Structure formats: C-alpha cells, structure tokens
C-alpha cells in the first residue's frame, strides 16, 4: 500500500568506522570492509547496488550508530576491493559465500539483519534463501528479481518509452545491426581492449542507468555514475551479471520466498521507480505475504530520495530493538 507523506526521517549524522580492513576471499579477490556504530549493537550487513556500485560513507548513516553494529563492504571488483573491475570468479554465488565469510571472520556474529537495495535486494534474497537461519530481518529497497522481463525492461524495451532521449544516447554507440541484443553488444566493448578503450562504452552504459534512477533529472547523479573511477566497474560488472542472468534460474527468488517467510521483512519501493519498477516488489509480496510492502507515492529508485529514505530509516529504527 502507498505510504502516507508525513514528517520524514533523514540520514543520521555522519560518523566514522571504528575498524576497517581487507578480507582475502580467495580466487584472487580481496574485499574492503568497515565496521561502524556500536560494537555491542544489533548486527547488520549492508549490501550495495550495482552490481559494481560500491559503498559510500552515507550508506552507514541509514542506521542508528548507538544501536547497530554495521558491516559495510565493497563487493568483488568495485570500490576499494581488488582487483578493480575484475569479472573473474565474480558471480552471485561467490558474493553469497563472501557475505557468510564476512559474518564469521569479520563481524563474528551468529546472526544478523540483512539490508540491501536494487541489486542489493537481489543479493539479500539470494543470501537469505541460502542461509535463512543466519538472517534476523530483511530490509529491502527497489526489488530486482533478475527475471528476464526486468533485464528486457532496461535493455530491450520498456524504460525507453519513459526516457526516449536518453535511450537514443545509449544505443548511439552501437551499430544498428547489433542493437537486437544490447547487453551482448556492450559486453564485447566492455571486455576487449584496454581500460581506456572501454571507457566510452562504460560511460554510456552508466549514463543510461543514471537516467533511470531518479524521478527528477540529477546532474550530480549522472556525474557520479559516469566518472571514470566509477563507470568502468559499474558497467563491466553490471553487464557481466546481466549477460549471465545473475546466475539465477527464471523465477528462482520468487520460488525461494517460501524459505524466508518466517523472517520479518520490510520492502520500501518507489511508485515511480523506472530502474526497478514496482511489478517485482508486488510479485515478491504475493510470494511472501508476511512481508510489509511500503510503496512510496512520490519515490523513484535511489535510497536517498526523501520518501524512500524515510521508509528505510523507519524500518531500521523499528528493528533496532528486536
């Protein structure tokens, strides 16, 4: 149901991690992680979007630092994790294993809350369905189930009807005879040549995503997504996952909802989210009727839009004492 627009919550005041480090997870990958908040507080792991988006200092500010022990990390190949933009041994199931390793070796907790938005919601569901006894609650935003219609919406037909001008910019890099499969066309350009040669395709891929994630145009968002230090990891890793269907069977996360129905959960979904439209969130609600679905009437995709952020922080505040 639609959330009521009332006095809205904002990010907690900025604070620094109390511990940071690098975890060797094998396959040549090392993950950057940080622990913040109260070392004796309620454990939570934050799963960023993308894939390949990396974490930011603002992400930890969605949790009360007096009541939560937060683990935020950069997934394989992005942010401060190494090797940068690597596609080797970088799949959904590698990341699920990484989360479990972070729980036991870094956070050193028996169970924790799992919080993720966009691709982070996909990864949260995959992890929770694999390790349901390790998850105390789920807080999810911008549901993406990695079913084919969701990929087609972004890269075949759907979102182009909302952003036809930005779509034309996105496809302009690709010759007409390759436009029948844009994910594959971009894959060729993002996996061949030098990083410098990949950059135009990376910027175009990331600019298209940036266009879909805000209700109103945001130059700041576009600049962030298309900056060279961000664009290559987002584009290469995201395209890699799209080309491989997220290593998930069609409908797998919906079928797996039966495994997590005992876990308290909240979904915050923007009504006008054109990156991950509400259809997937509604399908998940029907498969998991116990979850609380809050549809933000003036919300888009990004976590820091006022209505989305309000819903997320209300959820983390509520779960903090449980």
Partners of 20 in the β-ladder? 34
Q: Which candidate in 48, 59, 240, 301 is catalytic?
A: 301
The reply to whether 128 falls in a domain is yes
pLDDT computed for residue 217 by the predictor:
78
Please say if 161 is a catalytic residue: no
Alpha helices in 22-91 (DSSP H): none
Neighbours of 199 (CB within 10 A): 17
Distance CA 137, CA 264 (A): 5
The reply to whether 5 falls in a domain is no
Q: Which two tokens stand for residue 273?
A: 């989210």
- Tell me if 206 sits within 8 A of 231, measured CB to CB: yes
Name the more confident of 131 and 225. Answer: 131
Q: Are residues 216 and 134 in the same domain?
A: no
The reply to whether 123 falls in a domain is yes
The reply to whether 9 falls in a domain is no
Q: What is the mean pLDDT of the chain?
A: 95
Q: Are residues 69 and 116 in the same domain?
A: yes
pLDDT digits (tens, 9 = 90+) for 107-142: 999 999 999 999 999 999 999 999 999 999 999 999
Domain with 231, as residue range(s), is: 148-246
Phi, psi angles (nearest 5°) of residue 84:
-65, 135
Partners of 141 in the β-ladder? 117, 268
Give mean pLDDT, residues 13-41: 98
Residue with tokens 């799949």: 91
Q: Are residues 287 and 252 in the same domain?
A: yes
Evaluate the omega torsion of the peptide bond into residue 51 and state whether it is cis, within 30 degrees of 0. Answer: yes
Give mean pLDDT, residues 7-21: 96
pLDDT at 5 over 80: no
Distance CA 209, CA 167 (A): 10
pLDDT computed for residue 6 by the predictor:
59
pLDDT computed for residue 214 by the predictor:
87
Q: Are residues 238 and 251 in the same domain?
A: no
Q: Are residues 219 and 190 in the same domain?
A: yes
How many residues are present in the chain? Answer: 322
Q: Which of 188, 214, 246 is the last residue of a domain?
A: 246
Q: Which candidate in 64, 74, 147, 273 is catalytic?
A: 273
The reply to whether 7 falls in a domain is no
Give mean pLDDT, residues 206-223: 89
Tally the domains of the chain: 2
Alpha helices in the chain (DSSP H): 92-102, 119-130, 148-155, 164-171, 182-190, 195-212, 219-226, 228-243, 252-255, 278-287, 306-319
Pairing of β 112-117 and β 42-47: parallel
What predicted TM-score, i.e. pTM, was given to this entire model?
Answer: 0.96
Q: Which candidate in 118, 121, 124, 206 is catalytic?
A: 118
Q: Which two tokens stand for residue 198?
A: 């990949």
Partners of 294 in the β-ladder? 268
3-state secondary structure of 72: strand
Q: Are residues 258 and 229 in the same domain?
A: no
Q: Are residues 127 and 32 in the same domain?
A: yes
Q: Are residues 121 and 172 in the same domain?
A: no
Q: What is the CATH number of the domain that holds 277?
A: 3.40.50.1820
Pairing of β 42-47 and β 19-26: unpaired
What are the C-alpha distances in Å from 287 to residues 77, 84, 255? Answer: 33, 37, 8
pLDDT at 162 over 70: yes
Q: Which of 215, 246, 277 is the last residue of a domain?
A: 246
Question: Rounded to the nearest 10 degrees, how much is the dihedral formed by the CA atoms of 231, 236, 242, 248?
Answer: -120
Distance CA 313, CA 318 (A): 8
Q: Are residues 45 and 90 in the same domain?
A: yes
Please say if 118 is a catalytic residue: yes
Partners of 46 in the β-ladder? 72, 115
Q: Are residues 54 and 131 in the same domain?
A: yes
Distance CA 95, CA 97 (A): 5
The reply to whether 122 falls in a domain is yes
How does residue 258 score in pLDDT terms, banded at 50, 70 and 90? Answer: very high
The reply to whether 38 falls in a domain is yes
Q: Are residues 29 and 65 in the same domain?
A: yes
The reply to whether 3 falls in a domain is no
pLDDT at 241 over 90: yes
Q: Which of 211, 246, 281 is the last residue of a domain?
A: 246
Question: Rounded to the nearest 10 degrees, how much is the dihedral formed by the CA atoms of 277, 211, 49, 118?
Answer: -10
pLDDT at 2 over 70: no
Q: Are residues 38 and 62 in the same domain?
A: yes
């Amino acid at each position: 149901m639609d959330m009521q627009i009332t006095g809205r919550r904002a990010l907690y005041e900025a604070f620094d991690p109390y511990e940071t480090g690098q975890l060797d997870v094998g396959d040549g990958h090392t993950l950057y992680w940080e622990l913040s908040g109260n070392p004796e507080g309620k454990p939570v792991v934050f799963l960023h979007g993308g894939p390949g988006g990396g974490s930011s200092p603002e992400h930890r500010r969605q949790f009360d630092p007096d009541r939560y022990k937060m683990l935020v990390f950069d997934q394989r190949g992005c942010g401060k994790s190494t090797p940068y933009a690597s596609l080797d041994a970088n799949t959904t199931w590698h990341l699920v294993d990484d989360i479990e390793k972070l729980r036991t070796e870094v956070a050193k907790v028996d169970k924790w809350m799992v919080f993720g938005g966009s691709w982070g919601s996909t990864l949260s569901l995959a992890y929770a369905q694999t390790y349901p006894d390790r998850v105390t609650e789920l807080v999810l935003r911008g549901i993406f189930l990695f079913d084919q219609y969701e990929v087609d919406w972004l890269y075949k037909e759907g979102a182009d009807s909302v952003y036809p001008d930005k779509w034309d910019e996105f496809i302009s890099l690709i010759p007409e005879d390759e436009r029948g499969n844009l994910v594959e066309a971009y894959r060729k350009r993002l996996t061949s040549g030098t990083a410098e040669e990949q950059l135009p395709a990376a910027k175009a891929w990331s600019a298209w995503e940036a266009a879909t994630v805000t209700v109103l145009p945001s130059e700041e968002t576009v600049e962030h997504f298309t900056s060279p230090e961000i664009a290559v990891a987002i584009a290469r890793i995201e395209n890699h996952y799209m080309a491989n269907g997220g290593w998930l069977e069609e409908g797998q996360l919906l079928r797996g909802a039966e495994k997590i129905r005992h876990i308290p959960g909240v979904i915050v979904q923007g009504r006008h989210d054109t990156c991950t439209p509400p259809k997937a969130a509604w399908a998940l609600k029907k498969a998991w009727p116990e979850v609380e679905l809050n549809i933000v009437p003036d919300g888009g995709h990004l976590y820091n839009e006022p209505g989305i952020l309000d819903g997320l922080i209300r959820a983390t505040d509520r779960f903090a004492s449980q």
